[in-house]
Amino acid sequence: MSVLRQRTAAPSSEVSLHSPAVSSKPEWLDSVIVGDCVAALERLPKASVDLIFADPPYNLQLGGDLTRPDQSKVDAVDDDWDRFDSFEAYDAFTRAWLLACRRVLKPTGTMWVIGSYHNIFRVGSIMQDLGFWVLNDIIWRKANPMPNFKGKRFTNAHETLIWASRDREAKGITFNYEAMKAFNDDLQMRSDWLLPICTGGERLKNAEGDKVHPTQKPEALLWRVLMSSSKPDDVVLDPFLGTGTSAAVAKRLGRHFVGVERDSTYADFARARIASVERAPDDGLAVVTPKRAEPRIPFGSLIEAGMIRPGDKLCDARRRHVATVRADGSIASGAIAGSIHKVGASVQGLEACNGWTYWHVESGGALVLIDELRGRIRGELAAAGA
Ligand SMILES: C[S@@+](CC[C@H](N)C(=O)[O-])C[C@H]1O[C@@H](n2cnc3c(N)ncnc32)[C@H](O)[C@@H]1O
């Protein structure tokens, strides 16, 4: 058996997913816009963003102060931005910002909306009325929820995220299935996510040591959202930016962002926070891709590339069966000749066999799976941008 000619290559299963760089950067890109999101989005070009994360007002409708059993005041969401006169007013507002989002979303783009029982059903229903197509709802189960102080209802321990495409026929949307599985120790990522609420050093505080914002979301939540449904260099829009959680994570993950926030104090904190974040290096942003998305490499390519030569021997991992490589990319074992798959199946008396994961070549006294050689070619193609 011949010694393989060594080829330098990237790991076989990791491919950078960069989309073409944004050539001349529009001024709204990677910026925080202060103002009403409906008006601000009207000034963005149509179909200009890849992903939207929206954390709209909840319309909590709190009647008076919420207190603990010791009568201390609970730091609940009672801000003006969360006040609406009626469900009708909330629905009209929801319809307006959803329509504005739909206009700027690319046909291949998707949108996430997070909410609680107070608003998420209304928002979801309006999304469907406007043509959005719900792909999943995710339950964010809070590891450390606020108790139900009055003891009159269940502890409200989760929020719901709706993930939707622009319409039912949407094609080419990003879902990094393999990456999420790898992230989750090789288990398929489920739709219930257990994550703590935003506390500790991540929570923005003002000079007096008070929370800057009542509903700052944890970065871990945005990490999953962006990792699962966007690619490096994608544009991520957040129409209700608050403290800039989505934009900070987008920047760290090498995505572009644009955020709209009507409160200038929140916007200032968001800008400072985003400026303090560093983009991860390119090689840290590559994700695992599905095998089917990788270019097809026939066995003959290994011969063309000089990795295996006609006359070389292939064998299985326990060296029970041996086959000779032929110049046309077929192999022969005794009287059986054909593809690596057909001969692999025949020598084992099986109906079918994946030859790539059955046959090995010898290199420096060790057996190397031919699938590994195929991976090297794929790595080189990816490095060349093919
Ligand atoms: C639920 S909070 C978002 C919190 C954010 N996800 C974070 O992690 O900090 C909603 C934000 O939307 C802002 N807001 C409300 N109405 C708005 C509007 N019409 N246009 C832009 N921002 C708005 C509020 O000021 C508030 O900061």
CB 57 near ligand 1, within 6 Å:
yes
In whole angstroms, what separates CA 366 from the centre of its chain?
Answer: 38
DSSP-derived secondary structure letter, 302: H
* Residue 263 beta carbon below 6 angstroms from any ligand 1 atom: yes
Amino acid 385: pLDDT: 64
b/e map 207-241, b = 16+ CB within 10 Å: eeeeebbebbbbbebbbbbbbbbbbbbbbbbbbbb
Q: What is the whole-number distance in angstroms between the Cα of residue 36 and the centre of ligand 1?
A: 10
Instruction: Determine which residue's CA is closest to atom 27 belonging to ligand 1.
Output: 242
Answer whether residue 10 shows pLDDT above 50. Answer: no
Check pocket membership of 297 for ligand 1, CB cut-off 6 A: no
- What integer pLDDT is reported at residue 17 of this predicted model? 36
Tell me if 112 sits within 8 A of 98, measured CB to CB. Answer: no
Q: Is the CB of 266 under 6 A from ligand 1?
A: yes
- For residue 124, count other CB atoms closer than 10 A to its CB: 18
Least confident piece of the model among 7-16, 207-216, 341-350: 7-16
Q: Which atom of ligand 1 is nearest to the CA of 53?
A: 6
The pTM for the full model equals: 0.74
Contacts of 129 (CB under 8 A, 6+ apart): none
22 Cβ neighbours under 8 A, 6+ residues apart? 29, 233, 235, 256
Specify the residue for token string 């990490």: 223
Residue 265 has pLDDT above 90, yes or no: yes
In angstroms, the CA 252 to CA 250 distance is 5
Nearest ligand 1 atom to alpha carbon 37: 20
Residues sharing a CB contact under 8 Å with residue 251, sequence separation 6 or more, in sequence order: 30, 257, 274, 277, 278, 279
DSSP string, 29-80: TTEEEES-HHHHHHTSPTT-EEEEEE---------S--B-TT-PBP-----G
Tell me the mean pLDDT in the region 228-232.
Answer: 97
Q: In this structure, are residues 236 and 256 in contact, taking their beta carbons and an 8 Å threshold?
A: yes
Cα-to-centroid distance, 318 and ligand 1 (Å): 62
CA of 97 to the centre of ligand 1 (A): 12
Of the listed ranges 41-45, 267-271, 363-367, the least confidently predicted one is: 363-367
Percentage of the chain lying above the pLDDT 90 cut: 77
Q: How many CB atoms lie within 10 A of CB 70?
A: 6
CA dist list (Å): 243 to 73, 254, 325, 375: 23, 19, 62, 43
If pLDDT is split at 50, 70 and 90, which confidence band does 236 have?
A: very high
**How far is the centre of ligand 1, averaged over its atoms, from the C-alpha of 170 (Å)?**
28
